[in-house]
């Protein structure tokens, strides 16, 4: 218990308390775990040790659930405002829509927005040793914390007031608002007599778009809300905590690169802890705001399908809006009193914008979305062929297993770090591994802890602990 308190393993402390360990029991030197926590002024640890509550909250085994009602609320409010482009004059609707969209994006991009809670003044005594003036070596030396400002409580807003703060579901809400707007445009094309020509000439296309859109939405629901897909959450706490306690009894500290201090699990290689989801994810790719959960080993294939379907659906709506403008820009549908056909087109552009602002919004936003999604698709397909993740391709310098050893290079230019992927088996085999979950090409990254042909390094024991 004393060693765990020194290392400030909160989850392990709670686990040991639930197993009956007494924080006031002194060692041969007359020092107890509670004495150490009080001496070092670790307030959260003192509260845990003095509390009569000995229940243990299980380590996280699933992603934080998205609040569907929050997503729908944001989505329907924004989509309702967007749809005003069909009912209001353009000179009222356009500025209002731009203002609302700017405010929504500003909320999303607000730095360090965490659902409306604020961080008080940090107390050095409550920080993990790695974030204080600590040195952890064969002989662990822990510096005594300096006097810091008093611990300040977080202000936790409740109720509907949280909706005026940045929420994790806000990105989903903005995304859903545009989806609803595109669907609304589809409905308008069907029911508005002005667009009757589209139904007459393009009816098979409209039905096909409905079918693809339905599959696309079902894929999103499967990823995000309806029995949300498992991104590959590591659920080995019960096994790993037993091994960690056995190691602690012999003075062995688990290496931080191999263990997650939050989930208290042994992390497979290529896994990563996601602060938004609150879990460790195998072969972590990235955290997606559109589904408000991680994309990893468990759902990466479904996400790629979702991404490709997304492109197809948006391209379909861009074509639908293009059909509308192509019809109204034909010389026969323009005012003949305005001169030549080219002049008539330019003279009637303001009227077309005013009369078909909804179609223009779908067209412009759709083009921008297709460009962005295409870059994403190229990135994911390229990473698939190279057996990389988005996290690895961006942050490869953080991971020793992805960096070539500069000592093995003779040229001065080769002394700089460069990416060397030990999991790359060639484009075909990498793609086969990505899409399969059984057979010789499959690899379960929830159980992979070593590089190919690598040898495990022994964990170093602690020699002694001193207070300076």
Residues 364 and 409 in one domain: no
Of 1, 44, 39, 3, nearest in space to 22 by CA: 1
Residue 156's pLDDT band (cuts 50, 70, 90): very low
Decide if pLDDT at 465 tops 60: no
- Where is pLDDT greater, at 259 or 134? 259
Decide if pLDDT at 271 tops 70: yes
Decide if pLDDT at 16 tops 90: no
φ/ψ region of 144 (left if φ > 0, alpha if ψ in -120 to 50, else beta) reads: beta
Of 276, 285, 268, nearest in space to 391 by CA: 285
Residue 28's pLDDT band (cuts 50, 70, 90): confident
Query: What does the pLDDT read at residue 339?
Result: 53
Residues 382 and 407 in one domain: no
Query: What does the pLDDT read at residue 100?
Result: 78
Query: What does the pLDDT read at residue 126?
Result: 41
- Residue pair 387/114 in contact by the 8 Å Cβ criterion: no
Q: Tokens for 219, please give them.
A: 């894929």
Decide if pLDDT at 167 tops 90: no
Query: What does the pLDDT read at residue 437?
Result: 82
Q: What is the dihedral of CA 407, 408, 409, 414, to 10 degrees?
A: -60
State the helix-helix crossing angle for 357-386 and 90-108, rounded to 10 degrees. 30
| Residue range 53-76: mean pLDDT, rounded | 77
| Residue range 283-300: mean pLDDT, rounded | 94
Residues 318 and 412 in one domain: no
Determine, yes or no, domain membership for 20.
Answer: no
- Residue pair 414/406 in contact by the 8 Å Cβ criterion: yes
Work out the number of other CB atoms within 10 angstroms of the CB of residue 229. Answer: 23
Residues 305 and 322 in one domain: yes
DSSP 416: S
φ/ψ region of 20 (left if φ > 0, alpha if ψ in -120 to 50, else beta) reads: left
User: What's the mean per-residue pLDDT of the chain?
Assistant: 78
- Residue pair 303/289 in contact by the 8 Å Cβ criterion: no
3-state secondary structure of 141: strand
Residues 380 and 403 in one domain: no
Domain boundary among 329, 362, 386: 386
Range of weakest confidence among 24-28, 193-197, 311-315? 24-28
Domain boundary among 333, 362, 386: 386
Report the greatest alpha carbon distance in the chain.
103
State the helix-helix crossing angle for 300-328 and 196-224, rounded to 10 degrees. 160
The label of the residue with tokens 């948006």 reads 314
The structure's pTM equals: 0.77
Query: What does the pLDDT read at residue 463?
Result: 41
Distance CA 93, CA 81 (A): 8
Residues 369 and 316 in one domain: yes
Residues 365 and 304 in one domain: yes
Determine, yes or no, domain membership for 375.
Answer: yes
Residues 410 and 367 in one domain: no
- Where is pLDDT greater, at 378 or 419? 378
Determine, yes or no, domain membership for 140.
Answer: no
- Where is pLDDT greater, at 401 or 329? 401
Residue 369's pLDDT band (cuts 50, 70, 90): very high
Of 448, 437, 434, 446, nearest in space to 386 by CA: 434
Query: What does the pLDDT read at residue 340?
Result: 54
Range of weakest confidence among 58-67, 201-210, 416-425? 58-67
The strand pairing partners of 466, in sequence order, are: 141
Range of weakest confidence among 242-256, 263-277, 333-347? 333-347
Work out the number of other CB atoms within 10 angstroms of the CB of residue 353. Answer: 13
Give the pLDDT confidence of 295-334 residue by residue, as tens digits: 999 999 999 999 999 999 999 999 999 999 988 877 666 5
SS3 per-residue string spanning 45-103: HHHHHHCCCCCCCCCCCCCCCCCHHHHHHHHHHHHHHHCHHHHCCHHHHHHHHHHHHHH
Work out the number of other CB atoms within 10 angstroms of the CB of residue 6. Answer: 19
Q: Give, in degrees to the nearest 5, the angle at Cα 344 between 343 and 345.
A: 90
Give the pLDDT confidence of 252-267 residue by residue, as tens digits: 666 666 888 778 888 9
- Residue pair 252/244 in contact by the 8 Å Cβ criterion: no
| Residue range 156-176: mean pLDDT, rounded | 72
Domain boundary among 386, 413, 434: 386
- Percent of the chain whose predicted confidence (pLDDT) is above 90: 35
Determine, yes or no, domain membership for 376.
Answer: yes
3-state secondary structure of 235: coil
Distance CA 333, CA 326 (A): 10
Distance CA 157, CA 162 (A): 6
- Where is pLDDT greater, at 106 or 410? 106
Residues 196 and 88 in one domain: yes
Best-predicted range by mean pLDDT among 6-20, 58-72, 244-258?
58-72
Q: How many domains does the chain have?
A: 2
Determine, yes or no, domain membership for 155.
Answer: no
Distance CA 243, CA 250 (A): 11
Distance CA 93, CA 90 (A): 5
- Percent of the chain whose predicted confidence (pLDDT) is above 70: 71
Give the pLDDT confidence of 77-133 residue by residue, as tens digits: 888 888 888 888 877 888 888 887 787 777 666 544 444 433 344 444 444 444 444
Residues 207 and 106 in one domain: yes
Query: What does the pLDDT read at residue 110?
Result: 57
Of 376, 379, 378, nearest in space to 393 by CA: 379
Q: Tokens for 345, please give them.
A: 């087109």
Determine, yes or no, domain membership for 170.
Answer: yes
Give the pLDDT confidence of 417-448 residue by residue, as tens digits: 788 899 999 999 999 999 998 777 788 999 99
Give the strands of the sheet with 139-142, arranged side by side: 134-135, 139-142, 464-467
Determine, yes or no, domain membership for 58.
Answer: no
How many Cα atoms sit within 13 Å of 220 on the Cβ side? 21
- Where is pLDDT greater, at 173 or 161? 173
Query: What does the pLDDT read at residue 212?
Result: 97
Range of the domain at 405: 390-422
Residue 411's pLDDT band (cuts 50, 70, 90): low
Residues 362 and 400 in one domain: no
Residues 396 and 316 in one domain: no
Can you spell out the DSSP letters for 237-276? HHHHHHHHHHHHHTTBPPPTTTEETTTTEEPPTT-EEETT
Determine, yes or no, domain membership for 273.
Answer: no
């Amino acid at each position: 218990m004393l060693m765990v308190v020194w290392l400030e393993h909160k989850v392990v402390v709670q686990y040991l308390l639930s197993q009956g360990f007494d924080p006031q029991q002194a060692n041969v030197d007359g020092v107890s775990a509670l004495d150490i926590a009080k001496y070092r002024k670790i307030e959260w640890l003192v509260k845990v040790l003095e509390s009569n509550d000995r229940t243990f909250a299980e380590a996280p085994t699933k992603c934080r659930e998205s609040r569907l009602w929050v997503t729908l609320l944001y989505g329907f409010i924004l989509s309702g405002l967007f749809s005003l482009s069909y009912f209001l004059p353009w000179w009222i609707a356009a500025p209002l829509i731009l203002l609302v969209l700017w405010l929504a994006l500003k909320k999303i991009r607000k730095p360090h927005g965490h659902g409306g809670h604020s961080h008080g003044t940090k107390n050095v005594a409550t920080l993990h040793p790695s974030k204080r003036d600590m040195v952890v070596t064969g002989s662990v030396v822990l510096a005594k914390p300096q006097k810091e400002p008093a611990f300040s409580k977080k202000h936790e807003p409740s109720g509907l007031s949280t909706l005026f703060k940045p929420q994790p579901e806000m990105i989903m809400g903005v995304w859903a608002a545009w989806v609803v707007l595109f669907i609304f445009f589809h409905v308008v094309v069907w029911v508005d007599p002005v667009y009757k020509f589209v139904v007459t000439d393009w009816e098979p296309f409209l039905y096909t778009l409905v079918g693809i859109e339905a599959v696309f939405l079902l894929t999103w629901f499967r990823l995000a809300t309806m029995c949300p897909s498992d991104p590959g959450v590591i659920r080995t706490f019960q096994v790993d905590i037993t091994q960690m306690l056995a190691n602690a009894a012999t003075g062995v500290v688990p290496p931080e690169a191999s263990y997650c201090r939050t989930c208290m699990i042994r992390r497979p290689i290529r896994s990563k802890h996601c602060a938004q989801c609150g879990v460790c994810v195998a072969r972590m790719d990235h955290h997606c705001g559109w589904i408000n959960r991680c994309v990893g080993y468990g759902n990466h294939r479904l996400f790629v399908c979702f991404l490709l379907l997304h492109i197809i659906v948006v391209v379909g709506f861009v074509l639908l809006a293009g059909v509308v403008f192509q019809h109204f820009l034909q010389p026969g549908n323009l005012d003949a009193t305005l001169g030549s056909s080219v002049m008539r087109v330019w003279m009637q552009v303001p009227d077309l914008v005013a009369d078909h602002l909804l179609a223009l919004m779908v067209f412009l936003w759709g083009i921008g979305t297709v460009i962005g999604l295409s870059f994403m698709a190229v990135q994911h397909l390229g990473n698939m062929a190279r057996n990389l993740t988005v996290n690895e391709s961006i942050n490869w310098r953080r991971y020793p297993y992805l960096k070539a050893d500069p000592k093995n290079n003779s040229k001065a230019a080769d002394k700089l770090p460069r990416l060397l992927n030990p999991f790359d088996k060639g484009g075909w085999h990498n793609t086969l591994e990505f899409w399969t979950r059984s057979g010789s090409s499959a690899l379960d990254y929830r159980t992979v802890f070593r590089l190919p042909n690598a040898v495990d390094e022994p964990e170093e024991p602690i020699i002694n602990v001193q207070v300076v």
